[in-house]
Structure 1
């Protein structure tokens, strides 16, 4: 039986706004678990434009997406948030009432959470993998075809076919190579979007005969009862090769969808979550939305706006977590107690 994880707040989405909200909640002694469908923190900044310069973060004339995420992780480190990557919240159950909210969340990884508040910081929604156009691939999904790696150990001793040419494909090629019986990387051409050092490391393994690199596209899969046995690959010259594999990992990029949030009983407007501008609470007491996922008059989809929203939401969350405790506003520059929490006093 799965043990329920009990915490003060669950934040759905580990992008920049969610990470900064961890910091704001930490200053108020609110404990946090974070859930994100991606395999690492940072949301769009890390996944889509890690090297892209951002010019409108206060105090940083220029900062890259990944550098911003790294700094935010360092900033919230004193509060030790528990991260759950590669998971998506599938359902939310309301257990309490408007004066004393309580929620139960279930993820697609089978984890169950109970908390007093939920904070949605999911950007434009959850990232969903782009699936390759292979007939019948859904028959293998979840058994031998996976769009994310949750536990590397699950691929130990397997013959793994990885498809793609970006950072995810190359990173998992290199990470799974020591565990798998054999790793084959397939890309439609001999040019890669991934970081040059990853490409060089992959080519070195191929040159040493430690793994295989093939050029082409998967056209069909072979296997029974969801268990993959092989894949047919069509090359540019029209020839077809069949290779043996029992795991397929396609990394074709991501697309954004509102996902299960649409079924949480929240008021929605054009796939966004309306909130008030006093505390950024949704139509369900105890559930908040910050960042690009929310909407209100005058909304600006900027990271810095999301930081402001997270700070105000944290003040209201404190009331739900500590209903008998009076909250006194303090500045980190002058409060010794806050500085102690940050480890600087």
Structure 2
């Protein structure tokens, strides 16, 4: 764990690139700040802490950075990021990852924090599900609405195919070219992936429970065009069973909404997009004050009721709170200043601008 660095000496060494940790059970990780959540707000928290000369490790339950931006609207346009007319959720995450590279954050993906214990002032011990122990001087919770898990398809025994022929997320769309695909769901994610995958698929069937789709009208119109051209088949109904061949998922049995008849759909991959289920999980047991399942904070510092633990983004509540990315960015800046002041209570923390400050330029790896 690094000691406070005098302002005049901070960040003299070359910036380090972001990296993914290979820490495993029994190992101990030391950091200034542990950030829980690698969505856009968690990533920008790395940036704001970095400007203050504070290092961070980032933990996230998902296998990559991005949170809701990648899981729920990776290819959807965002129009309310200042100075950027339009970009997708995935593009925003890519830009944030590039922006925080100078500060060398270390990521711990597929990891959830089970235990948070305050041992003293600026001394926290956290334990992840993998058995890794994290020691930090402060903690920032930036977990969106909590840890997200996909809503699963309810067919007994089908979960053994998860990760092979049953997918709740698509990490390599090119690998699905030429395959018989069945997509379950009627929201934006289901339609977005159906539209993206249909042109290269051998066949694509989209199954929704009813004729009420929860996707953008433009996406629905495009899907109907693909249906008319024969590239997509739209079915309304429910799943009742599945079939296997040599231990691999190879078909899905569907009961049609009209006529109460059943049909067997042969498939190579089953893609399920029923949405993500937010859960607070272990956070509920950390002794932090909650207000209607959201974390209560001091709006001047974004510190929670547990001194040294801060929270930003959609997981928090306060009068006038708006669940906007822009609002979350603002919260990270105030939290970073508060953490700096807590680490160095006897030092006056001066506001410095990235435009003109040589210190900020050194920390950002900029050569004047």
Whether these two folds match at TM > 0.5 is yes
Shift of 1:337: 2.2
Which position in structure 2 is the counterpart of 1:265?
287
Q: Does 1:81 align with 2:105?
A: yes
**Aligned counterparts of 2:192 and 2:131: Cα–Cα separation in 1:** 26
Task: Give the number of aligned pairs.
Answer: 328
Deviation of 1:106 after TM superposition, in Å, equals 1.8
Where does the alignment leave 5 or more consecutive residues of structure 2 unmatched? 1-22
Deviation at 1:281, TM superposition (A): 1.9
Pick from 114, 124, 148 the counterpart of residue 91 of structure 1. 114
CA displacement at 1:331 relative to structure 2? 1.0
CA separation of 1:290 and 1:233: change in aligned 2, threshold 3 A: same
**TM-score, structure 1 normalization:** 0.69
1:140 and 1:68 mapped to 2: Cα distance? Answer: 34
Match of 2:37 in 1: 13
CA contact (8 A) 1:218 1:231 kept: no
Deviation of 1:290 (Å): 1.1
Matched, 1:290 2:315: no
| Unaligned runs of at least 5 residues, structure 1 | none
Residue of structure 2 aligned with 1:163, choices 163, 184, 188: 184
Structure 1 contact 53–64 (Cα < 8 Å) conserved:
yes
Partner SS, residue 79 of structure 1:
coil
Residues 238, 256 of structure 2: 8 Å contact kept: no
RMSD value, Cα: 4.9
Correspondence 1:24 to 2:48: yes
2:79 equivalent in structure 1 = 53
8 Å contact kept, 1:145–1:247: yes
Q: Distance in 2 between matches of 1:171 and 1:323?
A: 48
1:274 aligned residue (296, 318, 328): 296
Distance 1:161 1:12 in 2: 34
- Post-superposition offset of 1:114: 0.9
How far did residue 99 of structure 1 move? 1.0
Distance 1:63 1:245, change over 3 A: closer
Q: Aligned pair in 2 of structure 1 residues 308, 104: CA closer, same or farther (>3 Å)? A: same
Alpha-carbon contact 2:252-2:266 (below 8 Å) kept: yes
1:147 matches 2:165: no
Change (3 A) 1:135 1:61: closer
The separation in 2 between residues aligned to 1:63 and 1:45, in whole angstroms, is: 16
The whole-number CA distance in structure 1 between the counterparts of 2:287 and 2:267 is 42
Number of the residue aligned with 2:5? none
Contact conserved, 2:158 with 2:242, CA < 8 A, in 1?
no
**Match runs of 1:1-345 below 5 Å:** 2-3=24-25, 4=27, 6-8=29-31, 9-29=33-53, 30-35=55-60, 37=62, 40-41=65-66, 43=68, 47-48=72-73, 50-54=76-80, 59-60=82-83, 66=89, 69=93, 71-83=95-107, 87=110, 89=112, 91-94=114-117, 96-107=118-129, 110=130, 112=132, 114-116=134-136, 117-132=138-153, 134-136=154-156, 140=160, 145-148=166-169, 161-164=182-185, 168-169=189-190, 185-188=205-208, 215-222=235-242, 228=249, 230-235=251-256, 238=259, 239-243=261-265, 248-296=270-318, 298-301=319-322, 303=324, 304-318=326-340, 328-332=349-353, 333-344=355-366, 345=368
Aligned-pair distance for 1:140? 4.7
Is the Cα–Cα contact under 8 Å of residues 140 and 228 in structure 1 kept in the other structure?
no
> Could you say what secondary structure the match of 2:60 adopts?
strand
Does structure 2 conserve the Cα–Cα contact (< 8 Å) formed by 1:10 and 1:34? Answer: yes
CA 1:325–1:89 in 2, change beyond 3 Å: closer, same or farther?
farther
